[in-house]
A and B are shown apart, each in its own frame.
Chain A
Protein backbone atom coordinates (compact mmCIF):
# COMPACT_ATOMS: atom_id res chain seq x y z
CA UNK A 1 0.00 0.00 0.00
CA UNK A 2 1.23 3.52 -0.71
CA UNK A 3 1.98 5.76 2.25
CA UNK A 4 -0.74 8.19 3.26
CA UNK A 5 1.53 11.11 2.66
CA UNK A 6 5.15 12.11 2.24
CA UNK A 7 6.97 14.56 4.48
CA UNK A 8 8.00 17.95 3.20
CA UNK A 9 11.64 16.98 3.67
CA UNK A 10 11.32 13.76 1.69
CA UNK A 11 9.36 15.46 -1.06
CA UNK A 12 11.90 18.28 -1.29
CA UNK A 13 14.54 15.67 -2.08
CA UNK A 14 12.48 14.39 -5.02
CA UNK A 15 11.90 17.89 -6.38
CA UNK A 16 15.60 18.74 -6.04
CA UNK A 17 16.56 15.55 -7.84
CA UNK A 18 14.22 16.50 -10.70
CA UNK A 19 15.95 19.88 -10.92
CA UNK A 20 12.72 21.84 -10.42
CA UNK A 21 11.98 24.97 -8.49
CA UNK A 22 8.38 25.07 -7.30
CA UNK A 23 6.62 27.79 -5.40
CA UNK A 24 4.95 26.91 -2.14
CA UNK A 25 1.50 26.31 -3.64
CA UNK A 26 2.87 24.05 -6.37
CA UNK A 27 5.03 22.19 -3.87
CA UNK A 28 2.14 21.51 -1.51
CA UNK A 29 -0.29 20.59 -4.27
CA UNK A 30 2.10 18.02 -5.67
CA UNK A 31 3.04 16.73 -2.23
CA UNK A 32 -0.64 16.06 -1.58
CA UNK A 33 -1.01 14.29 -4.92
CA UNK A 34 2.08 12.16 -4.45
CA UNK A 35 0.09 9.37 -2.83
CA UNK A 36 -1.84 8.93 -6.08
CA UNK A 37 1.35 8.73 -8.12
CA UNK A 38 2.72 6.02 -5.84
CA UNK A 39 -0.59 4.17 -6.08
CA UNK A 40 -0.13 4.02 -9.85
CA UNK A 41 3.45 2.79 -9.67
CA UNK A 42 2.63 0.19 -7.01
CA UNK A 43 -0.01 -1.42 -9.25
CA UNK A 44 2.63 -1.98 -11.91
CA UNK A 45 4.64 -4.28 -9.67
CA UNK A 46 3.07 -7.67 -10.29
CA UNK A 47 4.88 -10.93 -9.53
CA UNK A 48 7.12 -11.97 -12.40
CA UNK A 49 9.64 -14.70 -13.06
CA UNK A 50 13.28 -13.66 -13.14
CA UNK A 51 13.25 -15.00 -16.70
CA UNK A 52 10.62 -12.51 -17.87
CA UNK A 53 11.67 -10.70 -21.04
CA UNK A 54 12.56 -7.05 -20.61
CA UNK A 55 10.14 -4.31 -21.60
CA UNK A 56 12.15 -3.09 -24.55
CA UNK A 57 14.12 -4.94 -27.18
CA UNK A 58 17.33 -3.39 -28.41
CA UNK A 59 18.19 -4.23 -32.00
CA UNK A 60 21.76 -3.66 -33.10
CA UNK A 61 21.90 -1.87 -36.44
CA UNK A 62 22.23 -4.28 -39.35
CA UNK A 63 25.53 -4.02 -41.30
CA UNK A 64 23.72 -2.62 -44.31
CA UNK A 65 22.18 0.08 -42.18
CA UNK A 66 25.63 1.04 -40.88
CA UNK A 67 26.69 1.76 -44.42
CA UNK A 68 23.72 3.98 -45.01
CA UNK A 69 23.99 5.95 -41.81
CA UNK A 70 26.87 6.68 -39.50
CA UNK A 71 24.50 7.07 -36.59
CA UNK A 72 23.44 4.01 -34.67
CA UNK A 73 19.80 2.98 -34.66
CA UNK A 74 18.72 3.73 -31.14
CA UNK A 75 15.08 2.93 -31.72
CA UNK A 76 13.35 0.58 -29.40
CA UNK A 77 10.45 -1.61 -30.16
CA UNK A 78 7.72 -2.63 -27.79
CA UNK A 79 6.25 -6.09 -27.81
Chain B
Protein backbone atom coordinates (compact mmCIF):
# COMPACT_ATOMS: atom_id res chain seq x y z
CA UNK B 1 0.00 0.00 0.00
CA UNK B 2 1.60 3.28 -1.12
CA UNK B 3 -0.46 5.79 0.84
CA UNK B 4 -0.29 4.48 4.39
CA UNK B 5 0.67 7.98 5.56
CA UNK B 6 -2.78 9.25 4.59
CA UNK B 7 -4.59 6.68 6.71
CA UNK B 8 -3.93 8.14 10.13
CA UNK B 9 -3.73 6.17 13.34
CA UNK B 10 -7.31 4.86 13.48
CA UNK B 11 -7.48 3.40 9.98
CA UNK B 12 -3.94 2.05 10.14
CA UNK B 13 -4.84 0.29 13.38
CA UNK B 14 -7.94 -1.23 11.80
CA UNK B 15 -5.96 -2.57 8.88
CA UNK B 16 -3.28 -3.98 11.19
CA UNK B 17 -5.93 -5.68 13.31
CA UNK B 18 -7.54 -7.25 10.26
CA UNK B 19 -4.07 -8.21 8.97
CA UNK B 20 -4.57 -6.29 5.73
CA UNK B 21 -1.28 -4.55 6.38
CA UNK B 22 1.63 -5.54 8.55
CA UNK B 23 3.41 -3.41 11.17
CA UNK B 24 6.56 -4.08 9.15
CA UNK B 25 4.96 -2.47 6.10
CA UNK B 26 3.74 0.46 8.19
CA UNK B 27 7.08 1.10 9.88
CA UNK B 28 9.07 0.75 6.65
CA UNK B 29 6.73 3.22 4.97
CA UNK B 30 7.08 5.83 7.72
CA UNK B 31 10.84 5.31 8.05
CA UNK B 32 11.22 5.97 4.33
CA UNK B 33 9.23 9.17 4.69
CA UNK B 34 11.07 10.28 7.83
CA UNK B 35 14.49 9.76 6.26
CA UNK B 36 13.47 11.48 3.03
CA UNK B 37 11.85 14.53 4.63
CA UNK B 38 14.04 15.09 7.66
CA UNK B 39 16.83 16.96 5.84
CA UNK B 40 14.31 19.64 4.87
CA UNK B 41 12.02 19.63 7.91
CA UNK B 42 14.55 18.90 10.73
CA UNK B 43 11.86 17.19 12.75
CA UNK B 44 14.07 14.39 14.11
CA UNK B 45 17.35 14.52 15.99
CA UNK B 46 17.67 10.76 15.51
CA UNK B 47 15.72 8.18 13.56
CA UNK B 48 15.83 4.66 14.97
CA UNK B 49 15.72 2.61 11.76
CA UNK B 50 17.07 -0.62 13.21
CA UNK B 51 15.16 -0.76 16.48
CA UNK B 52 11.94 0.37 14.80
CA UNK B 53 12.21 -2.37 12.16
CA UNK B 54 13.02 -4.92 14.85
CA UNK B 55 10.01 -3.78 16.87
CA UNK B 56 7.80 -4.03 13.82
CA UNK B 57 8.87 -7.62 13.21
CA UNK B 58 8.05 -8.51 16.82
CA UNK B 59 4.65 -6.82 16.48
CA UNK B 60 3.97 -8.66 13.23
CA UNK B 61 4.86 -12.00 14.80
CA UNK B 62 2.67 -11.30 17.83
CA UNK B 63 -0.31 -10.33 15.71
CA UNK B 64 0.07 -13.31 13.40
CA UNK B 65 0.18 -15.51 16.51
CA UNK B 66 -3.12 -14.04 17.73
CA UNK B 67 -1.62 -11.75 20.36
CA UNK B 68 -3.08 -8.46 19.10
CA UNK B 69 -2.80 -5.87 21.87
CA UNK B 70 -5.13 -3.13 20.64
CA UNK B 71 -5.21 0.00 18.55
CA UNK B 72 -1.62 1.08 19.24
CA UNK B 73 -0.09 -2.27 18.30
CA UNK B 74 2.40 -1.70 15.50
CA UNK B 75 1.77 2.07 15.35
CA UNK B 76 4.94 4.17 15.03
CA UNK B 77 5.41 7.33 17.05
CA UNK B 78 7.93 10.13 17.59
CA UNK B 79 9.07 11.24 21.02
CA UNK B 80 10.11 14.74 22.04
CA UNK B 81 13.76 14.62 22.96
CA UNK B 82 13.27 15.55 26.59
CA UNK B 83 11.63 12.16 27.24
CA UNK B 84 13.83 9.23 28.24
CA UNK B 85 14.29 6.03 26.29
CA UNK B 86 16.69 3.60 27.96
CA UNK B 87 20.00 3.43 26.14
CA UNK B 88 19.44 6.55 24.02
CA UNK B 89 20.62 10.08 24.67
CA UNK B 90 18.06 12.56 25.95
CA UNK B 91 19.70 15.65 24.52
CA UNK B 92 17.06 18.19 25.62
CA UNK B 93 18.23 20.08 22.54
CA UNK B 94 21.17 21.36 24.57
CA UNK B 95 24.97 21.15 24.49
CA UNK B 96 24.74 20.53 28.23
CA UNK B 97 23.15 17.12 27.80
CA UNK B 98 24.06 16.23 24.26
CA UNK B 99 25.55 12.88 25.25
CA UNK B 100 23.58 11.98 28.37
CA UNK B 101 22.26 8.46 27.97
CA UNK B 102 19.01 7.60 29.69
CA UNK B 103 19.30 4.58 31.94
CA UNK B 104 15.60 3.79 32.11
CA UNK B 105 12.53 4.26 30.00
CA UNK B 106 10.23 7.11 30.94
CA UNK B 107 6.75 6.17 32.12
CA UNK B 108 5.39 7.39 28.78
CA UNK B 109 7.63 4.99 26.89
CA UNK B 110 6.83 2.13 29.27
CA UNK B 111 3.15 2.64 28.55
CA UNK B 112 3.57 2.89 24.80
CA UNK B 113 5.82 -0.17 24.74
CA UNK B 114 3.16 -2.11 26.63
CA UNK B 115 0.62 -1.29 23.92
CA UNK B 116 2.94 -2.52 21.18
CA UNK B 117 3.59 0.95 19.73
CA UNK B 118 6.96 1.47 18.05
CA UNK B 119 9.29 4.42 18.65
CA UNK B 120 10.47 5.72 15.28
CA UNK B 121 12.70 8.53 16.46
CA UNK B 122 13.46 11.35 18.88
CA UNK B 123 11.90 14.63 17.79
CA UNK B 124 13.71 17.94 17.84
CA UNK B 125 12.92 20.14 20.83
CA UNK B 126 13.74 23.70 21.69
CA UNK B 127 16.48 23.79 24.31
CA UNK B 128 15.17 22.38 27.59
CA UNK B 129 11.66 22.89 26.25
CA UNK B 130 11.85 26.67 26.44
CA UNK B 131 14.47 28.02 24.05
CA UNK B 132 13.19 29.28 20.72
CA UNK B 133 14.28 28.44 17.17
CA UNK B 134 17.99 28.68 17.96
CA UNK B 135 20.27 28.21 14.95
CA UNK B 136 23.39 28.22 17.15
CA UNK B 137 22.63 24.82 18.67
CA UNK B 138 23.80 21.43 17.36
CA UNK B 139 20.28 20.48 16.27
CA UNK B 140 18.77 22.88 13.75
CA UNK B 141 15.21 24.06 14.48
CA UNK B 142 12.33 22.16 12.92
CA UNK B 143 10.63 23.80 9.95
CA UNK B 144 6.89 24.11 9.48
CA UNK B 145 5.81 21.61 6.80
CA UNK B 146 3.10 24.01 5.60
CA UNK B 147 5.80 26.55 4.70
CA UNK B 148 9.42 25.70 5.38
CA UNK B 149 10.25 29.37 5.98
CA UNK B 150 7.88 29.43 8.93
CA UNK B 151 8.13 28.50 12.59
CA UNK B 152 6.54 25.35 13.95
CA UNK B 153 5.90 26.90 17.33
CA UNK B 154 7.46 25.32 20.35
CA UNK B 155 8.76 23.82 22.29
CA UNK B 156 7.51 20.48 20.88
CA UNK B 157 8.60 21.76 17.51
CA UNK B 158 9.94 18.54 16.01
CA UNK B 159 6.92 16.62 17.28
CA UNK B 160 4.57 19.01 15.49
CA UNK B 161 6.57 18.99 12.28
CA UNK B 162 6.93 15.20 12.30
CA UNK B 163 3.15 14.66 12.34
CA UNK B 164 2.34 17.49 9.92
CA UNK B 165 4.85 16.08 7.43
CA UNK B 166 3.20 12.67 7.91
CA UNK B 167 6.45 11.01 8.89
CA UNK B 168 4.60 9.45 11.80
CA UNK B 169 0.92 9.32 12.82
CA UNK B 170 1.58 10.26 16.47
CA UNK B 171 4.12 12.35 18.33
CA UNK B 172 4.44 12.93 22.05
CA UNK B 173 5.09 16.48 23.15
CA UNK B 174 5.16 18.24 26.50
CA UNK B 175 3.32 21.38 27.53
CA UNK B 176 4.29 23.84 30.28
CA UNK B 177 2.77 26.98 28.79
CA UNK B 178 1.52 25.80 25.41
CA UNK B 179 4.32 23.62 24.06
CA UNK B 180 1.97 20.94 22.73
CA UNK B 181 -0.72 23.39 21.71
CA UNK B 182 1.26 26.08 19.88
CA UNK B 183 3.02 23.64 17.53
CA UNK B 184 -0.29 21.87 17.03
CA UNK B 185 -1.94 25.16 16.08
CA UNK B 186 0.88 26.27 13.76
CA UNK B 187 1.18 22.83 12.15
CA UNK B 188 -2.54 22.10 11.79
CA UNK B 189 -2.79 19.24 14.29
CA UNK B 190 -5.02 18.04 17.08
CA UNK B 191 -2.99 18.62 20.24
CA UNK B 192 -4.14 17.67 23.72
CA UNK B 193 -2.71 19.00 26.97
CA UNK B 194 -4.49 16.69 29.38
CA UNK B 195 -5.27 17.42 33.00
CA UNK B 196 -2.14 17.79 35.12
CA UNK B 197 -1.53 14.36 36.62
CA UNK B 198 -3.19 12.35 33.84
CA UNK B 199 0.15 11.33 32.29
CA UNK B 200 3.15 10.49 34.43
CA UNK B 201 6.06 12.94 34.25
CA UNK B 202 8.57 10.29 35.30
CA UNK B 203 11.53 10.27 32.95
CA UNK B 204 10.71 13.65 31.40
CA UNK B 205 13.24 16.45 31.89
CA UNK B 206 11.66 19.10 34.09
CA UNK B 207 11.05 22.61 32.97
CA UNK B 208 8.50 23.78 35.53
CA UNK B 209 7.35 20.85 37.60
CA UNK B 210 3.95 22.12 38.71
CA UNK B 211 2.84 23.15 35.22
CA UNK B 212 4.03 20.60 32.70
CA UNK B 213 2.52 17.48 31.28
CA UNK B 214 3.06 15.31 28.25
CA UNK B 215 0.39 15.19 25.57
CA UNK B 216 -0.39 13.54 22.23
CA UNK B 217 -0.15 15.37 18.89
CA UNK B 218 -1.97 13.79 15.95
CA UNK B 219 -3.56 14.54 12.59
CA UNK B 220 -7.12 13.93 13.80
CA UNK B 221 -9.07 14.25 17.03
CA UNK B 222 -9.96 10.56 17.10
CA UNK B 223 -6.32 9.56 16.65
CA UNK B 224 -5.56 11.80 19.58
CA UNK B 225 -8.18 10.22 21.83
CA UNK B 226 -6.81 6.74 21.15
CA UNK B 227 -3.29 7.90 21.90
CA UNK B 228 -4.33 9.44 25.21
CA UNK B 229 -5.93 6.14 26.22
CA UNK B 230 -2.48 4.58 25.83
CA UNK B 231 -0.59 7.35 27.62
CA UNK B 232 -2.79 8.06 30.64
CA UNK B 233 -2.76 6.24 33.94
CA UNK B 234 -1.60 6.33 37.53
CA UNK B 235 2.09 6.06 38.32
CA UNK B 236 3.01 5.74 41.98
CA UNK B 237 6.53 6.93 41.16
CA UNK B 238 5.31 10.36 40.03
CA UNK B 239 4.13 12.34 43.09
CA UNK B 240 1.78 14.39 40.90
CA UNK B 241 0.19 11.41 39.19
CA UNK B 242 -3.57 11.22 39.65
CA UNK B 243 -5.09 7.90 40.67
CA UNK B 244 -8.03 8.29 38.32
CA UNK B 245 -8.78 5.66 35.71
CA UNK B 246 -8.52 6.63 32.04
CA UNK B 247 -11.81 6.87 30.18
CA UNK B 248 -12.73 5.48 26.79
CA UNK B 249 -12.00 8.79 25.11
CA UNK B 250 -12.25 7.41 21.59
CA UNK B 251 -15.95 6.77 22.28
CA UNK B 252 -16.47 10.51 22.80
CA UNK B 253 -15.91 11.46 19.19
CA UNK B 254 -19.21 9.96 18.02
CA UNK B 255 -21.35 11.62 20.68
CA UNK B 256 -21.71 15.18 19.38
CA UNK B 257 -22.43 18.15 21.62
CA UNK B 258 -26.22 18.26 21.64
CA UNK B 259 -27.37 19.46 25.04
CA UNK B 260 -23.90 20.44 26.24
CA UNK B 261 -23.44 23.91 27.71
CA UNK B 262 -20.39 25.67 26.31
CA UNK B 263 -19.02 28.98 27.55
CA UNK B 264 -17.37 31.43 25.16
CA UNK B 265 -14.46 33.24 26.79
CA UNK B 266 -14.36 36.35 24.64
CA UNK B 267 -12.83 38.69 27.17
CA UNK B 268 -9.39 37.04 26.85
CA UNK B 269 -9.00 38.37 23.29
CA UNK B 270 -11.36 41.35 23.39
CA UNK B 271 -9.33 42.95 26.19
CA UNK B 272 -6.15 42.43 24.15
CA UNK B 273 -7.08 43.90 20.75
CA UNK B 274 -3.46 43.85 19.55
CA UNK B 275 -2.75 40.40 20.93
CA UNK B 276 -4.66 38.13 18.55
CA UNK B 277 -5.02 38.29 14.79
CA UNK B 278 -8.39 38.87 13.17
CA UNK B 279 -8.28 35.47 11.53
CA UNK B 280 -7.75 33.75 14.90
CA UNK B 281 -10.74 35.61 16.33
CA UNK B 282 -12.71 34.64 13.23
CA UNK B 283 -11.76 30.99 13.76
CA UNK B 284 -13.05 31.27 17.33
CA UNK B 285 -16.38 32.69 16.12
CA UNK B 286 -16.69 30.02 13.43
CA UNK B 287 -16.15 27.28 16.00
CA UNK B 288 -18.73 28.85 18.31
CA UNK B 289 -21.30 28.82 15.50
CA UNK B 290 -20.50 25.21 14.64
CA UNK B 291 -21.04 24.13 18.24
CA UNK B 292 -24.31 26.06 18.43
CA UNK B 293 -25.53 24.59 15.15
CA UNK B 294 -24.68 21.13 16.49
CA UNK B 295 -27.06 21.63 19.39
CA UNK B 296 -24.87 23.01 22.16
CA UNK B 297 -26.23 25.67 24.46
CA UNK B 298 -23.84 28.60 24.04
CA UNK B 299 -23.35 31.13 26.84
CA UNK B 300 -20.87 33.90 27.58
CA UNK B 301 -18.31 33.40 30.35
CA UNK B 302 -16.11 36.22 31.59
CA UNK B 303 -12.94 35.36 33.46
CA UNK B 304 -10.28 37.62 34.93
CA UNK B 305 -8.15 39.28 32.24
CA UNK B 306 -5.83 36.99 30.35
CA UNK B 307 -2.87 38.99 31.68
CA UNK B 308 -3.64 37.87 35.23
CA UNK B 309 -3.57 34.19 34.32
CA UNK B 310 -0.53 34.72 32.12
CA UNK B 311 1.45 36.59 34.77
CA UNK B 312 0.93 33.91 37.42
CA UNK B 313 1.82 31.13 34.99
CA UNK B 314 4.96 32.90 33.82
CA UNK B 315 6.28 33.75 37.28
CA UNK B 316 5.75 30.18 38.46
CA UNK B 317 7.34 28.83 35.28
CA UNK B 318 10.34 31.13 35.52
CA UNK B 319 10.83 30.44 39.22
CA UNK B 320 10.64 26.67 38.97
CA UNK B 321 12.85 26.60 35.88
CA UNK B 322 15.47 28.81 37.56
CA UNK B 323 15.64 26.44 40.52
CA UNK B 324 16.17 23.52 38.13
CA UNK B 325 18.88 25.29 36.10
CA UNK B 326 20.55 27.27 38.90
CA UNK B 327 23.73 25.22 39.13
CA UNK B 328 24.27 25.13 35.37
CA UNK B 329 23.51 28.81 34.99
CA UNK B 330 26.20 29.60 37.53
CA UNK B 331 28.79 27.17 36.19
CA UNK B 332 28.01 26.32 32.55
CA UNK B 333 26.17 29.31 31.17
CA UNK B 334 28.34 29.30 28.04
CA UNK B 335 26.83 25.96 27.00
CA UNK B 336 23.28 27.32 26.71
CA UNK B 337 22.02 28.93 23.51
CA UNK B 338 20.94 32.58 23.54
CA UNK B 339 17.22 31.77 23.46
CA UNK B 340 17.37 29.56 26.52
CA UNK B 341 19.52 32.08 28.40
CA UNK B 342 17.09 34.92 27.83
CA UNK B 343 14.08 32.75 28.60
CA UNK B 344 15.43 31.23 31.80
CA UNK B 345 17.09 34.36 33.18
CA UNK B 346 13.90 36.06 34.42
CA UNK B 347 13.58 33.36 37.05
CA UNK B 348 16.85 34.51 38.59
CA UNK B 349 15.52 38.04 38.98
CA UNK B 350 12.38 37.10 40.89
CA UNK B 351 12.07 37.21 44.65
CA UNK B 352 10.72 34.49 46.90
CA UNK B 353 7.72 36.74 47.52
CA UNK B 354 7.07 36.94 43.76
CA UNK B 355 6.80 33.16 43.55
CA UNK B 356 4.50 32.96 46.57
CA UNK B 357 2.34 35.78 45.25
CA UNK B 358 2.04 33.93 41.94
CA UNK B 359 1.06 30.77 43.78
CA UNK B 360 -1.58 32.67 45.77
CA UNK B 361 -2.92 34.14 42.54
CA UNK B 362 -2.91 30.66 41.08
CA UNK B 363 -5.20 29.43 43.83
CA UNK B 364 -7.58 32.35 43.32
CA UNK B 365 -7.72 31.87 39.55
CA UNK B 366 -8.25 28.11 39.87
CA UNK B 367 -11.20 28.84 42.14
CA UNK B 368 -12.52 31.39 39.63
CA UNK B 369 -12.29 28.93 36.77
CA UNK B 370 -13.82 26.08 38.78
CA UNK B 371 -16.70 28.34 39.78
CA UNK B 372 -17.30 29.35 36.17
CA UNK B 373 -17.22 25.74 35.04
CA UNK B 374 -19.87 24.64 37.51
CA UNK B 375 -22.35 26.16 35.07
CA UNK B 376 -20.84 24.98 31.79
CA UNK B 377 -19.40 21.74 30.44
CA UNK B 378 -16.66 23.34 28.38
CA UNK B 379 -15.02 26.63 27.49
CA UNK B 380 -14.11 27.83 24.02
CA UNK B 381 -11.00 30.03 23.97
CA UNK B 382 -8.75 31.43 21.24
CA UNK B 383 -5.75 29.27 20.44
CA UNK B 384 -2.47 30.69 19.16
CA UNK B 385 -2.08 34.43 18.67
CA UNK B 386 -2.05 34.04 14.87
CA UNK B 387 -0.85 31.80 12.08
CA UNK B 388 2.76 30.58 12.07
CA UNK B 389 5.29 33.45 11.83
CA UNK B 390 8.46 33.42 9.74
CA UNK B 391 11.17 31.51 11.58
CA UNK B 392 14.00 33.90 10.74
CA UNK B 393 12.43 36.90 12.44
CA UNK B 394 12.09 35.41 15.89
CA UNK B 395 14.45 36.96 18.42
CA UNK B 396 15.67 35.46 21.70
CA UNK B 397 13.90 38.09 23.79
CA UNK B 398 10.55 37.63 22.10
CA UNK B 399 9.11 35.65 25.00
CA UNK B 400 9.63 38.65 27.25
CA UNK B 401 8.41 41.47 25.07
CA UNK B 402 4.87 41.42 26.31
CA UNK B 403 3.51 38.78 23.94
CA UNK B 404 0.60 36.96 25.55
CA UNK B 405 -0.52 33.34 25.34
CA UNK B 406 -4.03 32.01 25.72
CA UNK B 407 -2.55 28.56 26.35
CA UNK B 408 -0.74 29.44 29.57
CA UNK B 409 -3.89 29.88 31.72
CA UNK B 410 -4.68 26.20 31.52
CA UNK B 411 -1.24 25.09 32.64
CA UNK B 412 -1.80 27.38 35.59
CA UNK B 413 -5.14 25.76 36.40
CA UNK B 414 -4.11 22.24 35.35
CA UNK B 415 -7.17 21.94 33.11
CA UNK B 416 -7.42 19.77 30.01
CA UNK B 417 -7.11 21.95 26.91
CA UNK B 418 -7.01 20.96 23.28
CA UNK B 419 -6.06 22.72 20.07
CA UNK B 420 -8.41 21.88 17.20
CA UNK B 421 -7.69 22.87 13.59
CA UNK B 422 -10.26 25.15 11.97
CA UNK B 423 -8.90 25.23 8.43
CA UNK B 424 -6.35 27.27 6.50
CA UNK B 425 -5.94 31.02 6.05
CA UNK B 426 -5.56 32.58 2.56
CA UNK B 427 -1.79 31.93 2.74
CA UNK B 428 -2.43 28.23 3.28
CA UNK B 429 -1.39 28.27 6.94
CA UNK B 430 -3.38 26.47 9.65
CA UNK B 431 -5.66 28.22 12.10
CA UNK B 432 -7.06 26.74 15.29
CA UNK B 433 -9.24 27.17 18.34
CA UNK B 434 -8.90 25.88 21.91
CA UNK B 435 -11.41 23.74 23.82
CA UNK B 436 -11.04 23.60 27.62
CA UNK B 437 -12.69 21.14 29.99
CA UNK B 438 -13.21 20.59 33.69
CA UNK B 439 -10.40 18.81 35.45
CA UNK B 440 -10.24 15.15 34.33
CA UNK B 441 -13.04 15.65 31.81
CA UNK B 442 -11.07 15.13 28.60
CA UNK B 443 -14.11 13.18 27.42
CA UNK B 444 -16.20 16.33 26.90
CA UNK B 445 -13.25 18.08 25.27
CA UNK B 446 -12.98 15.34 22.66
CA UNK B 447 -16.74 15.51 21.99
CA UNK B 448 -16.59 19.18 21.06
CA UNK B 449 -13.22 18.90 19.31
CA UNK B 450 -14.57 16.28 16.93
CA UNK B 451 -17.58 18.42 16.04
CA UNK B 452 -15.32 21.40 15.23
CA UNK B 453 -12.87 19.29 13.24
CA UNK B 454 -15.62 17.69 11.17
CA UNK B 455 -17.21 21.02 10.31
CA UNK B 456 -14.19 23.26 9.78
CA UNK B 457 -11.09 21.30 8.98
CA UNK B 458 -10.81 19.01 6.01
CA UNK B 459 -8.20 16.53 7.04
CA UNK B 460 -7.59 15.83 3.35
CA UNK B 461 -5.59 19.05 2.87
CA UNK B 462 -1.93 18.30 3.56
CA UNK B 463 1.26 20.35 3.50
CA UNK B 464 2.81 20.26 0.06
CA UNK B 465 6.07 18.90 1.45
CA UNK B 466 4.17 15.90 2.80
CA UNK B 467 2.08 15.34 -0.30
CA UNK B 468 4.93 16.09 -2.71
CA UNK B 469 6.95 13.13 -1.59
CA UNK B 470 4.26 10.83 -2.91
CA UNK B 471 4.67 12.23 -6.42
CA UNK B 472 8.43 11.67 -6.64
Chain A residues close to B by CB (< 8 Å) = 14-15, 18-22, 26, 29-30, 32-34, 36-37, 39-41, 43-46, 48, 52-56, 75, 78-79
Q: A29-B397, A36-B402 are in contact. List 16 more A-B contacts (CB 8 A).
A: A14-B349, A20-B329, A26-B338, A26-B342, A30-B349, A32-B397, A36-B401, A37-B349, A39-B402, A40-B311, A41-B350, A41-B357, A46-B308, A46-B364, A75-B239, A78-B362
Partner pick for A79 among B239, B326, B366, CB 8 A cutoff: B366
Partner pick for B346 among A22, A26, A37, CB 8 A cutoff: A37
CB proximity to A under 8 Å, residues B381-433: 396-397, 400-402
Q: In whole angstroms, what is the CA distance A75 to B193 when docked?
A: 24
What are 21 residue pairs bridging A and B, where the CB atoms are less than 8 Å apart in the complex? Answer: A19-B330, A20-B333, A26-B341, A29-B397, A36-B401, A36-B402, A37-B349, A37-B350, A40-B310, A40-B314, A41-B315, A41-B350, A41-B357, A44-B360, A48-B360, A52-B360, A53-B363, A54-B356, A54-B360, A55-B362, A75-B239
CB proximity to A under 8 Å, residues B353-380: 354, 356-364, 366-367
In the bound complex, residues from chain B placing their C-beta under 8 Å from that of A46 are: 308, 361, 364
Question: Using an 8 Å CB-CB cutoff, how does the interface string of B325-350 with A read, 1 for contact, 0 for none?
Answer: 01001100100001001100110111
Q: Which of A14, A37, A53 has the most CB of B within 10 A?
A: A37
Partner pick for A78 among B357, B359, B397, CB 8 A cutoff: B359
Minimum CB–CB distance from A32 to chain B (whole Å) comes to 8
**Chain A residue at minimum C-beta to C-beta distance from B312:** A44
Whether B329 pairs with A44 at a CB distance below 8 angstroms is: no
Q: In whole angstroms, what is the CA distance A50 to B311 when docked?
A: 22
In the bound complex, residues from chain A placing their C-beta under 8 Å from that of B346 are: 30, 33, 37
**Chain A residue at minimum C-beta to C-beta distance from B362:** A78
Q: How many residues of B contact A (CB 8 A)?
A: 39
**Chain B residue at minimum C-beta to C-beta distance from A46:** B361
In the bound complex, residues from chain A placing their C-beta under 8 Å from that of B308 are: 43, 46
Whether A29 pairs with B342 at a CB distance below 8 angstroms is: yes
**Chain B residue at minimum C-beta to C-beta distance from A55:** B359
**Chain A residue at minimum C-beta to C-beta distance from B359:** A55
Q: Which of B350, B396, B397, B400 has the most CB of A within 10 A?
A: B400
Is the C-beta of B115 less than 8 angstroms from some C-beta in chain A? no
Whether B359 pairs with A56 at a CB distance below 8 angstroms is: yes
In the bound complex, residues from chain A placing their C-beta under 8 Å from that of B345 are: 20, 26, 30
**Chain A residue at minimum C-beta to C-beta distance from B308:** A43
In the bound complex, residues from chain A placing their C-beta under 8 Å from that of B367 are: 79
Is the C-beta of B111 less than 8 angstroms from some C-beta in chain A? no
Whether B349 pairs with A55 at a CB distance below 8 angstroms is: no
In the bound complex, residues from chain B placing their C-beta under 8 Å from that of A18 are: 348-349
In the bound complex, residues from chain A placing their C-beta under 8 Å from that of B326 are: 19
Q: In whole angstroms, what is the CA distance A52 to B364 when docked?
A: 10
In the bound complex, residues from chain A placing their C-beta under 8 Å from that of B210 are: 78
In the bound complex, residues from chain A placing their C-beta under 8 Å from that of B307 are: 43
Q: A36-B401, A43-B307 are in contact. Are A29 and B396 (CB under 8 A)?
A: yes
In the bound complex, residues from chain A placing their C-beta under 8 Å from that of B364 are: 46
In the bound complex, residues from chain A placing their C-beta under 8 Å from that of B350 are: 37, 41
Partner pick for B357 among A14, A37, A45, A53, CB 8 A cutoff: A45
In the bound complex, residues from chain A placing their C-beta under 8 Å from that of B315 are: 40-41, 44
Minimum CB–CB distance from B46 to chain A (whole Å) comes to 31
In the bound complex, residues from chain B placing their C-beta under 8 Å from that of A19 are: 326, 330
Q: A46-B361, A78-B210, A78-B362 are in contact. Are A41 and B342 (CB under 8 A)?
A: no
Whether B397 pairs with A33 at a CB distance below 8 angstroms is: yes
Q: In whole angstroms, what is the CA distance A33 to B347 when docked?
A: 12
Q: In whole angstroms, what is the CA distance A59 to B359 when docked?
A: 17
Minimum CB–CB distance from B196 to chain A (whole Å) comes to 10
